[in-house]
Amino acid sequence: MFNEPGRHVFGGGGGGTEVNFDGRMLMEAALYVQQHGSPHLKGLPVDKVESDLMSFVTEAYYLLAPETFLASFHGSYADTVSDGVATSFAAALAASRFFVEPRLAAIFPLVPVRVDVAYDATPFFLCAPGGLDAALGPLAGRFGIVEDTFPPVDEWDGRREPVSSWLGVRAASLDAARKVRAVVLGAVALLPHYYERYTFSGRRQFGGEITLSDRYSLSFGDPHTPPLMTDVEIGAGDRPWLDELARKLTSPTKEDRKHIRALAYFYRAWTPDPVKRFPTMFAAIDAVFGDAGQATQAVVDAVGPVMGPEYTAERIRVMLGLRASVVHGGAPDVYESSKYRTYYRDYGKDAVKDMELIVARCLQAVIFPGTMVERPHTHADAILRETGRVV
């Protein structure tokens, strides 16, 4: 079904027809626009680009209709339409989302994260519920924003959930926004004290996302963070590392792209299940330190200076051997590997907890040197008073 832009498909001037696509040539077209078109297309699966191209043909068919609608012909539309119609169709494609990067605001509700001082940069923003209107600017007036509940639009009359804070991402697509969300929350996961980073409660959480552009689209879904026992608070003192993160998200350098990948892996490892967490931790450390030619040695050489003399090269190699046994089929999970018990016996520590500490310290030191400070334990004073231990 088709009609001119701004007119309902069933209104005057519209119609319906059948268009067939050559699968091989559709794939070639998708690969072409990924290579030569808007940068956001490179991060999409080819079949998604193919689907979007077919949708574009529907949207722009009104340009072809004067010479093809109800006409009988064999072969390609390109061989059938006049040069003028072909030029108009090409111009519409050149001005479309395939060659002009679109922009939308994707907003993610957060539960165990509290923002005391809003942060707003080009790629993303973090704010308390009351700061959403200001962060969205002109978009807020268009949709009638309700700042303290998800979904944050006034016309929604379904389920609503209270929000602790908002993460907003300005991106070309929802898929691209989700990737930025993973990086930002991977950095946020570095903030809690390492005893509290993986200490979870049974608190009720919710998730979801809403995108705002010329219209809005929303859905409920999985929570964006695990159910932390203690909220993470973000304030004015966090601006230096947030500025650095915003810079890295728009940087083309190889080093910054490695850091972005490491944070995305660290976010993926922010899960209550240590069995799933352990191998993903190594992906984060490999992203920062790994060398394609000699990955093991590169990690050994890099981790020692960050962690100190207690973490010898031999100790790191035992840890990497444990990773290898899990990843390459030697054991179904870390706790069933004989190397796990060997590590515990030789170093007196749980390898999973040790790896959590190693990865967090390395990412803090390498990605945010001098700008990110891990939070003190929420109950550090009480623990010191009652046990004499400094945590």
46-81: pLDDT as tens digits: 999 999 999 999 999 999 999 998 888 888 999 999
Same domain, 212 and 274: no
Same domain, 73 and 137: no
Last residue of a domain, one of 60, 94, 128: 94
Q: Is residue 389 part of a domain?
A: no
Distance CA 218, CA 212 (A): 9
Same domain, 234 and 276: no
Q: Is residue 333 part of a domain?
A: yes
Distance CA 342, CA 348 (A): 10
Same domain, 117 and 76: no
| 106, β-bridge pairs | 169, 211
Same domain, 129 and 214: yes
Q: Is residue 376 part of a domain?
A: no
Same domain, 162 and 212: yes
Q: Is residue 125 part of a domain?
A: yes
Q: Is residue 148 part of a domain?
A: yes
Q: Please enumerate in sequence order all residues whose Cβ is within 8 A of that of 268, keeping only pairs 6 or more positions apart, or say none.
A: 182, 186, 280, 283
The pLDDT value recorded for residue 332 is: 84
Same domain, 82 and 191: no
Q: Please enumerate in sequence order all residues whose Cβ is within 8 A of that of 56, keeping only pairs 6 or more positions apart, or say none.
A: 93, 96, 98
User: Tens place of pLDDT for every residue, the chain, 391 residues?
Assistant: 887 776 665 656 678 888 899 999 999 999 999 999 988 888 789 999 999 999 999 999 999 999 998 888 888 999 999 999 999 999 999 999 899 887 899 999 999 999 999 999 999 999 999 999 999 988 888 888 999 999 999 989 999 999 999 999 999 889 889 999 999 999 999 999 999 999 999 999 999 999 998 889 999 999 999 999 999 999 999 999 999 999 999 998 999 999 999 999 999 999 999 998 998 998 999 899 876 555 678 888 888 889 989 999 999 988 888 888 887 777 888 899 888 999 999 999 999 999 999 999 999 999 999 999 899 999 999 988 999 888 8
- Whether the CA torsion 53, 58, 59, 65 is positive or negative: it is positive
Distance CA 15, CA 69 (A): 9
Q: Is residue 42 part of a domain?
A: yes
Q: What is the pTM of this model?
A: 0.82
Structural Rg of the chain based on CA atoms = 26
Distance CA 375, CA 220 (A): 31
Q: Is residue 382 part of a domain?
A: no
- Going by the DSSP 8-state scheme, the letter that residue 390 receives in this structure is -
Same domain, 224 and 342: no
Per-residue pLDDT tens over the stretch 163-218: 999 999 999 889 889 999 999 999 999 999 999 999 999 999 999 999 998 889 99
Same domain, 90 and 134: no
Domain tally, the chain: 3
Last residue of a domain, one of 215, 249, 283: 249
Q: Is residue 274 part of a domain?
A: yes
Same domain, 233 and 261: no
Same domain, 241 and 108: yes
Same domain, 88 and 187: no
Distance CA 390, CA 17 (A): 74
CB atoms within 10 A of CB 63: 21
Q: Range of 360's domain? A: 254-367
Burial annotation 14-31 (CB, 10 A radius, 16+ → b, else e): eeeeeeeeeeeebbebbe
